[in-house]
Structure 1
Amino acid sequence: MTDQAVDTGGVRLSGRVAAEYQFLGRTRELKELRADIERAGLDTLSGKKPPRARVLLIAGRPGSGRTALAEELVRQVADRYEDGVLRARLSEPDGTPVPVERAARELLAAADLPAPAGAAADDLTEALRTGLADRRVLVLLDDAAGAEQVDALLPDSSECLVVAVSQGPLTGISDVRPCTLGGLDTKSALELLTGHIGSVRITVDPRAAEGLVEECQAQPAALEMAGGWLAARPKAAVADLAKHLHTEGDEGTPLSRIFRLAYSSLPVPAARILRLLALAPAGLVDPHTASALAGCSVSSARTTLDDFVALGLLRAVESPLPQYEVPGCLHPMLKALTESKDRPGELQLARARMLERTVRLLQSCRTITETDSADAREKLQGMPRSVRFPSPRAAEDWLRIRRPALLAAARAAVADGELDTLARRLMSQLVRAMVAHFGMRAAAPDLYGIHRLVLDVAERRELHRERAAALLNLGDLDAQTGRTADALVRYRAALDAGREANDPYATGRAMESVGGAHLELGDYDRAADWFGRALTQRLARAERADAARLYGRIATTHTYAGRYGEALRGWRAAATGYRKNGDVAAHARALSELARVQEYAGRPEESLRTCHEAVEWARRAEDVRLQAALQLRLADTLEHLGDPASAQLHRGTAERLLGEEAGEAEDGGETEPDQPDQPEQDANACEIRSTSAED
Structure 2
Amino acid sequence: MAEGEQGGVDPARAADLVEFIDLLGQRRVEAGSPPFRALAKAVGPLMRPPRVISHTTLREAFQTRRRRLDADLVVAVVRALGADRAEADRWRAACLRIHRDAKTGGRAGVLRRLPGDLATFTGRDRDLALLLEAAEQGTGPLIVTAIEGMAGVGKTQLAVHAAHRLVRSGHYTDLQLFTNLRGFDADYEPADPATVLDIFLRELGVPAAQIPATLEERAAMFRDRMHGRRALVLLDNAADEDQVRPLLPGSDRCLVLITSRRSLAGLDGARPHRLDVFTPQEALALLSRVIGAQRVQAEAPAARAVVDAVGCLPLAVALLAARLRSHPERPLADMVRRLEAEPLIGVRGRGPALRPVFDLSFQALPEGAQDALGAIGVHPGRDYTAAAIAALVGSTVEQAEEELERLQDEHLVRETSPRRYDVHDLVRDYAAEVAADLLPDRGEAFGRLVAWYLQTAVNAAKELNTFLLPEIADVPGLHPLEFDARDAAIAWYDAETVNLRAIHQAVVAAGLFDACWQLPVALRDFMHLRYRPEDNFSFHRRAADALRNSEDKKSRALMLLGISTPGRRLGRYDDAKAALIEAARLYDELDDVGGRIMVLGEQAAMHHAHGRSEVAASLWRQVIGLSEPISDRRSVMIAHLNLGDILTRLGRFDEAWAEGRLALDEAEALDDRRAKCIITGNLGEVLLHRGDYEATLTWFARLTALAQETGDRYEMVNSLEQRAVALEHLGRLDEARQMWQEAAAVLDEVDTARAEKARRRLALISPEAGTKQADD
TM-score (norm 2): 0.64
Contact 2:117 2:157 in 1 (8 A): no
Give the drift of 1:82.
4.0
Distance (Å, rounded) in 1 between the aligned partners of 2:57 and 2:534: 28
Distance (Å, rounded) in 2 between the aligned partners of 1:622 and 1:154: 43
Structure 2 alignment gaps of length 5 or more = 1-51, 63-76, 82-114, 347-351, 669-678, 706-715, 727-776
Contact 2:624 2:639 in 1 (8 A): yes
- 2:290 is matched with 196
- 2:769 is matched with none
Match of 1:31 among 92, 110, 129: 129
Mapping for residues 286-435 of structure 1, pairs under 5 Å: 286-319=385-418, 322-339=419-436, 343=440, 346-365=441-460, 387=480, 391-392=484-485, 395-396=488-489, 399=492, 402-404=495-497, 406-431=499-524, 434=526
Contact 2:408 2:415 in 1 (8 A): yes
- 1:677 is matched with none
After superposition, the C-alpha distances for 1:641-675 in whole angstroms (9 at most, x for unaligned) are xxxxxxxxxx8x67986998899774322879xxx
Give the drift of 1:278.
0.9
Q: SS at 1:217's partner residue?
A: coil
Of stretches 195-204 and 10-19 in structure 1, the one that deviates more from structure 2 is 10-19
After superposition, the C-alpha distances for 1:321-340 in whole angstroms (9 at most, x for unaligned) are x3322221212222233346
- 1:59 is matched with 148
Q: Which structure's relative contact order is higher, taking Cα pairs within 8 Å and 6+ residues apart?
A: 1
Distance (Å, rounded) in 2 between the aligned partners of 1:504 and 1:248: 68
- 2:355 is matched with 256
Of stretches 403-412 and 13-22 in structure 1, the one that deviates more from structure 2 is 13-22
Seen in structure 2, the aligned counterparts of structure 1 residues 7 and 458 have a Cα distance that, compared at 3 Å, is: farther
User: How many residues in Structure 1 have an aligned counterpart in Structure 2?
Assistant: 586
Seen in structure 2, the aligned counterparts of structure 1 residues 415 and 6 have a Cα distance that, compared at 3 Å, is: farther
Mapping for residues 586-605 of structure 1, pairs under 5 Å: none
Seen in structure 2, the aligned counterparts of structure 1 residues 514 and 258 have a Cα distance that, compared at 3 Å, is: same
- 2:331 is matched with 237
Give the drift of 1:59.
0.9
Q: SS at 1:669's partner residue?
A: helix
- 2:181 is matched with 90
Structure 1 alignment gaps of length 5 or more = 45-49, 371-375, 587-617, 633-650, 673-695
- 1:144 is matched with 238
Contact 2:644 2:660 in 1 (8 A): no
Give the drift of 1:506.
3.0
Give, as a single letter, the amino acid of the residue that structure 2 aligns with 1:399: W
Contact 2:452 2:479 in 1 (8 A): no
Contact 2:464 2:486 in 1 (8 A): no
Contact 2:603 2:619 in 1 (8 A): yes
Give, as a single letter, the amino acid of the residue that structure 1 aligns with 2:511: E
Give the drift of 1:71.
0.7
Give, as a single letter, the amino acid of the residue that structure 2 aligns with 1:103: V
Give the drift of 1:551.
8.6
Give the drift of 1:168.
1.0
Seen in structure 2, the aligned counterparts of structure 1 residues 21 and 537 have a Cα distance that, compared at 3 Å, is: same
After superposition, the C-alpha distances for 1:446-495 in whole angstroms (9 at most, x for unaligned) are 54554444444444646443344334444323445676676555544543
Distance (Å, rounded) in 2 between the aligned partners of 1:480 and 1:492: 18
TM-score (norm 1): 0.70
Q: SS at 1:668's partner residue?
A: helix
Give, as a single letter, the amino acid of the residue that structure 2 aligns with 1:34: L
Match of 1:76 among 156, 165, 187: 165
- 1:636 is matched with none
Distance (Å, rounded) in 1 between the aligned partners of 2:61 and 2:661: 61
Give the drift of 1:181.
1.2
Give, as a single letter, the amino acid of the residue that structure 2 aligns with 1:326: V
- 1:601 is matched with none
Distance (Å, rounded) in 2 between the aligned partners of 1:552 and 1:318: 42
After superposition, the C-alpha distances for 1:259-315 in whole angstroms (9 at most, x for unaligned) are 122223344554343223212233422222222222233333322222222222222
- 1:594 is matched with none
Give, as a single letter, the amino acid of the residue that structure 1 aligns with 2:430: M
After superposition, the C-alpha distances for 1:569-606 in whole angstroms (9 at most, x for unaligned) are xx87x8888899995999xxxxxxxxxxxxxxxxxxxx
Give the drift of 1:528.
6.3
Q: SS at 1:281's partner residue?
A: coil
Contact 1:287 1:298 in 2 (8 A): yes
Distance (Å, rounded) in 1 between the aligned partners of 2:416 and 2:609: 47
Mapping for residues 512-661 of structure 1, pairs under 5 Å: 512-523=601-612, 527=616, 530=619, 534=623, 537-538=626-627, 583=665, 629-632=689-692
Seen in structure 2, the aligned counterparts of structure 1 residues 534 and 299 have a Cα distance that, compared at 3 Å, is: closer
After superposition, the C-alpha distances for 1:43-74 in whole angstroms (9 at most, x for unaligned) are x9xxxxx5xx4321111122111111111121
Contact 1:56 1:163 in 2 (8 A): yes
Distance (Å, rounded) in 1 between the aligned partners of 2:275 and 2:704: 62
Distance (Å, rounded) in 2 between the aligned partners of 1:560 and 1:196: 69
Q: SS at 2:307's partner residue?
A: helix
- 1:691 is matched with none
Q: Does structure 1 residue 510 correspond to structure 2 residue 603? A: no
Seen in structure 2, the aligned counterparts of structure 1 residues 541 and 157 have a Cα distance that, compared at 3 Å, is: same
- 2:14 is matched with none
Contact 1:90 1:98 in 2 (8 A): yes
Contact 2:607 2:615 in 1 (8 A): yes
- 2:729 is matched with none
- 1:647 is matched with none
- 1:109 is matched with 202
Distance (Å, rounded) in 2 between the aligned partners of 1:19 and 1:520: 50
Contact 2:553 2:586 in 1 (8 A): yes
Give the drift of 1:558.
9.5
Seen in structure 2, the aligned counterparts of structure 1 residues 513 and 655 have a Cα distance that, compared at 3 Å, is: closer
Distance (Å, rounded) in 2 between the aligned partners of 1:448 and 1:273: 34
Contact 1:89 1:103 in 2 (8 A): no
Distance (Å, rounded) in 1 between the aligned partners of 2:295 and 2:637: 84
Match of 1:265 among 364, 372, 376: 364
Give the drift of 1:143.
0.8
Contact 2:286 2:317 in 1 (8 A): yes
Of stretches 56-65 and 21-30 in structure 1, the one that deviates more from structure 2 is 21-30
Contact 1:455 1:470 in 2 (8 A): yes
Seen in structure 2, the aligned counterparts of structure 1 residues 500 and 29 have a Cα distance that, compared at 3 Å, is: farther
Distance (Å, rounded) in 2 between the aligned partners of 1:40 and 1:146: 27
Contact 1:88 1:106 in 2 (8 A): no
Seen in structure 2, the aligned counterparts of structure 1 residues 316 and 558 have a Cα distance that, compared at 3 Å, is: closer
After superposition, the C-alpha distances for 1:198-233 in whole angstroms (9 at most, x for unaligned) are 233212112221221222222111011111111222
Contact 1:11 1:316 in 2 (8 A): no
Contact 1:455 1:467 in 2 (8 A): yes
Contact 2:533 2:567 in 1 (8 A): no
Distance (Å, rounded) in 2 between the aligned partners of 1:232 and 1:513: 62
Contact 1:63 1:222 in 2 (8 A): yes
After superposition, the C-alpha distances for 1:372-410 in whole angstroms (9 at most, x for unaligned) are xxxx9xx9x999895565854894487157414642453
Contact 1:201 1:237 in 2 (8 A): no
What is the root-mean-square deviation of aligned Cα atoms in Å?
4.8
Match of 1:159 among 247, 250, 253: 253
